[in-house]
Structure 1
Amino acid sequence: MDDKEFVYSANYKPLDSMKTAFDKYGYIIIRGLLQPAELQKVTQALEENSEIHKHAFGLSDGEDKISRQCIWSLPGNDITGMVARSTRVVRTVEKLLSGDVAHYHSKLIMKEAKTGGKFVWHQDYGYWYKNGFVKPDMLSVLIAIDPCLKDNGCLEVLVGSHKCGRVDHMMVGGQTGADLERVELIKLKCPLIYVELDPGDAVFFHSNVLHTSSANTSDKRRWVLISAFNLLSNNSLIQHHHPTGTRVHVVDDSAILSCTNFTDMTGKRFQEPTKNRGIIPVRE
């Protein structure tokens, strides 16, 4: 295991070495962040909750494939909310960003077998910048629901690219993508790696890390649950499709297993995609 990878255990706590690796590479991986029984409950909630799928929409990759996603602004009190609010997630984010944090939004991304589209090269801060965040003091936590492999379109990152600053972004298909000429230059300095994950593994990555993912041409789906956070001191200064963040109401890690709420989505505030200027949803 290299210095970017860590393993969740019963006595887990965020380490200084995680912060060191995050600052150096722009991301860290925590294997087994969700344990099997927890993952089973989260998967059931994502598969069976009609509210999530009712609010899902398609996103074109500019070619012939579409990925589906559902986005919500507030964690809520269901099982997915317990994950975003769990001590293991929030305290790790606080360690990596060096301060108190707010939940920005969460989403389920669904790349179905054979049809799931690619995501173009981009930085999350490339479009969050336009939402009124003046600093890139933000990150995303991606948790694998299914195996995330090279052949089903796993996350790809340019290692250390968060140190290159914000790159200009523009619309590419239905997505906001980075200036590809600049991306090619950055590739000369920052190696590309495929972030392959087992179900329950998580990657925490900086908002300025350049990343992409290929289309899913395999016969296996690739679902991931992503929660984005920002420092409380870096709240948005522009009213937009997500509310200004407030401190996360942290719950004990045991709340993921003890939560019995699979269906009540009260307070999650699902996103209306037509109000998000960073994407162009497609009819399915």
Structure 2
Amino acid sequence: MVTLKALVAEQREQYERDGFLVVRELFSPDEIAAVKERLAHYIREGLRMLREGQKPEQDTVTHDGVHIQLEPLVAQGKYIPDDPLHAARKVWNLFGHDEVLTRFVSNPKLLDIVEDLLGTSAIWFFADKAMLKPPKIGVEKPWHQDLPYFPFEPKDEPHIHVAAWIALDEATLENGCMQYIPGSHKLGNITTAHVDTYGLGHLAADMSKVDTNKAVVVEAQPGDVAFHDGLTLHYSAPNTSDKPRWALVLDFINAERARYVGKGEPKFPRLR
């Protein structure tokens, strides 16, 4: 029997059954504010680089190793937001480049839960990405599984990867909160094709045998965290509201069970 560090048995059982678990108020308002301040810094720097003539690659510019991707409508010159912080879709590669975010990822209260969910203390940190849905123009993220995107095998088993989706703003149905299909991690890898959505690459899941009416809507407050398995189907709707929806997503890998199949030597850190 696995000895749990942070969760109770009922929470672990729920995660096993549903493929996701919501932990409320894991991070304090001050911790969330510090993350948002750093993200705002990189967005402003990215926009400054564009004003000074930097040409984006795939709508993306890089500042001090951190990548900033614009919303498609902004990148296409079809929309200029009133607030410059509403111009970005995604900020990533923060770990190891930003001291505040590196400490945040290594927080023991977060890693204890990841350890409980993966069932091992052998944890690799794979990636970080702040997913930003600006008011009115933030696009949807279609139904998908995370693990097929990543250079690890096996790709058809649970407990290889767990994502921590951390609410930085209030997340509602109107501004694009997370939605999950309970138990979908037990379907295995049902990713079938690469499609282009809003000019953004996307791995599509075969939803023909999935009842999306059973989706669970997970609204959240800043500091709440939704953990999900790498095979759990999830989705977020467009932001149709007048409020932003910022979230930080952290990807952790089971270092005992996963095999790295990417190019070159792996550069991700072992956290435990």
The TM-score by the shorter chain falls in which range?
0.7 to 0.9
Q: In the alignment, is the contact (CA less than 8 A) between 2:148 and 2:191 conserved in 1?
A: yes
Name which of structure 1's ranges 23-32 and 162-171 shifts more when overlaid on structure 2. Answer: 162-171
Q: What residue number does 1:187 align with?
A: 211
Q: What residue number does 1:246 align with?
A: 269
Provide the C-alpha distance between the structure 2 equivalents of 1:148 and 1:101, rounded to a whole number of angstroms.
28
Q: What residue number does 1:46 align with?
A: 39
Q: In the alignment, is the contact (CA less than 8 A) between 2:180 and 2:234 conserved in 1?
A: yes
Identify which of 121, 136, 139 aligns with 2:143: 121
Provide the C-alpha distance between the structure 1 equivalents of 2:71 and 2:101, rounded to a whole number of angstroms.
22
Q: In the alignment, is the contact (CA less than 8 A) between 2:95 and 2:105 conserved in 1?
A: no
Q: In the alignment, is the contact (CA less than 8 A) between 2:68 and 2:91 conserved in 1?
A: yes
Provide the C-alpha distance between the structure 2 equivalents of 1:160 and 1:223, rounded to a whole number of angstroms.
26
Q: Which amino acid counterpart does residue 69 of structure 2 have in structure 1?
A: F
TM-score by length of 2: 0.76
Q: Which amino acid counterpart does residue 148 of structure 1 have in structure 2?
A: A
Q: What residue number does 2:161 align with?
A: 138
Q: How does 1:199-218 map to 2 (within 5 A)?
A: 199-218=222-241
Q: What residue number does 2:103 align with?
A: 82
Provide the C-alpha distance between the structure 1 equivalents of 2:25 and 2:45, rounded to a whole number of angstroms.
25
Distance 1:243 1:68, change over 3 A: farther
Q: What residue number does 1:155 align with?
A: 178
Deviations 1:117-153 (A, max 9, x none): 110110001322xx23225410100110111100001
Distance 1:213 1:105, change over 3 A: same
Aligned residues: 231
Q: In the alignment, is the contact (CA less than 8 A) between 2:138 and 2:238 conserved in 1?
A: yes
Q: What residue number does 1:255 align with?
A: none
Identify which of 15, 20, 30 aligns with 1:37: 30
Secondary structure at the aligned position of 2:207 is classed as helix
Distance 1:52 1:126, change over 3 A: farther
Q: What residue number does 2:243 align with?
A: 220
Identify which of 113, 127, 138 aligns with 1:105: 127
Give the RMSD, CA atoms, in angstroms. Answer: 2.7
Q: What residue number does 2:50 align with?
A: none
Q: CA deviation at 1:184?
A: 3.7
Identify which of 191, 211, 216 aligns with 1:168: 191
Structure 2: tracts of 5 or more residues without a match: 47-62, 80-86
Distance 1:19 1:196, change over 3 A: same
Q: Which amino acid counterpart does residue 153 of structure 2 have in structure 1?
A: F
Q: What residue number does 2:93 align with?
A: 72
Using the aligned pairs only, state the percent identity.
Answer: 24
Distance 1:197 1:230, change over 3 A: same
Q: CA deviation at 1:159?
A: 1.0
Q: In the alignment, is the contact (CA less than 8 A) between 1:120 and 1:172 conserved in 2?
A: no
Q: In the alignment, is the contact (CA less than 8 A) between 1:104 and 1:242 conserved in 2?
A: no
Deviations 1:244-282 (A, max 9, x none): 543216xxxxxxxxxxxxxxxxxxxxxxxxxxxxxxxxx
Distance 1:233 1:59, change over 3 A: farther
Distance 1:157 1:30, change over 3 A: same
Q: CA deviation at 1:95?
A: 0.5
Q: CA deviation at 1:71?
A: 2.1
Secondary structure at the aligned position of 1:175 is classed as strand
Q: Which amino acid counterpart does residue 57 of structure 1 have in structure 2?
A: Q
Q: Which amino acid counterpart does residue 183 of structure 1 have in structure 2?
A: M
Q: Which amino acid counterpart does residue 30 of structure 2 have in structure 1?
A: A
Provide the C-alpha distance between the structure 2 equivalents of 1:70 and 1:31, rounded to a whole number of angstroms.
24
Q: CA deviation at 1:52?
A: 7.7
Q: In the alignment, is the contact (CA less than 8 A) between 1:18 and 1:96 conserved in 2?
A: no
